[in-house]
Amino acid sequence: MAQLKLTVNGVIYEADIDPRLLLVHYLRDTLGLTGTNVGCDTSQCGACTVLVDGLAVKSCTMLALQASGSKITTIEGLKQDGVYHPLQQAFWDNHGLQCGYCTSGMIMTAVDFLKHNPHPTEAEIRHAIEGNICRCTGYHNIVKAIKAAATQMADNRPLQRPQGQV
């Protein structure tokens, strides 16, 4: 067993865990944060994407211990003061989801992406989400939703580039 200390959605957790425990299983099984889904086990589909210190990471391919000392944000931590994140709102407004299984990961990837590129073109959006697979929407409305969120966010508040990131 090994000592883990990390922050998830603003709450500090300490635990003694099996060193081989995957981050996604820690989030889902230990913390009960089941909004983060597992889709492929091999880092292709991105359904398990969470933010680790602000960066989009596929949590099925990271050990929980590797996240020790980090600040994690999952889909459950995105809504602030009862208000949807602009991306959540845009996915709803633009029918950017059907079965919803890829949605958490897709939104978390887009959160990271829009921090780095607040005014993306369609091609840039499509490139940004190519590590997230959706089998329902054909991506058409996901691209539309991310574009709409970008516009909304750019209109409403200045965006900050995270430190040390491109």
Instruction: Give first-to-last CA distance, the chain, whole Å.
Output: 36
For position 2 contacting other proteins by CB under 8 A, the verdict is: no
Q: Does residue 154 touch other proteins according to CB under 8 A?
A: no
Q: Total binding residues for other proteins by CB under 8 A?
A: 60
54 DSSP 8-state letter: T
DSSP state of 94: T
Angle at 56 between CA 30 and CA 89, to 5 degrees: 90
DSSP state at residue 162: P
Is the distance from CB of 59 to CB of 28 less than 8 angstroms? no
- Give the nearer residue to other proteins in terms of CB position, either 13 or 29: 29
Among 7, 17, 116, 126, binds other proteins (CB under 8 A): 126
Binding of residue 37 to other proteins (CB under 8 A)? yes
140-156 and 86-93 helices, crossing angle to 10°:
140
Q: Which is nearer to other proteins, 140 or 161 (CB)?
A: 140
Indicate whether 107 belongs to the interface with other proteins (CB under 8 A).
yes
**Does residue 49 interact with other proteins by CB under 8 A?**
no
Give CA 106 to chain center in angstroms.
6
Note the residues at the interface with other proteins (CB under 8 A).
Answer: 18, 20-21, 25, 28-29, 32-42, 44-45, 47, 74-76, 78-79, 84, 88, 91-93, 95, 97-104, 107, 122-123, 125-127, 129-130, 132-144
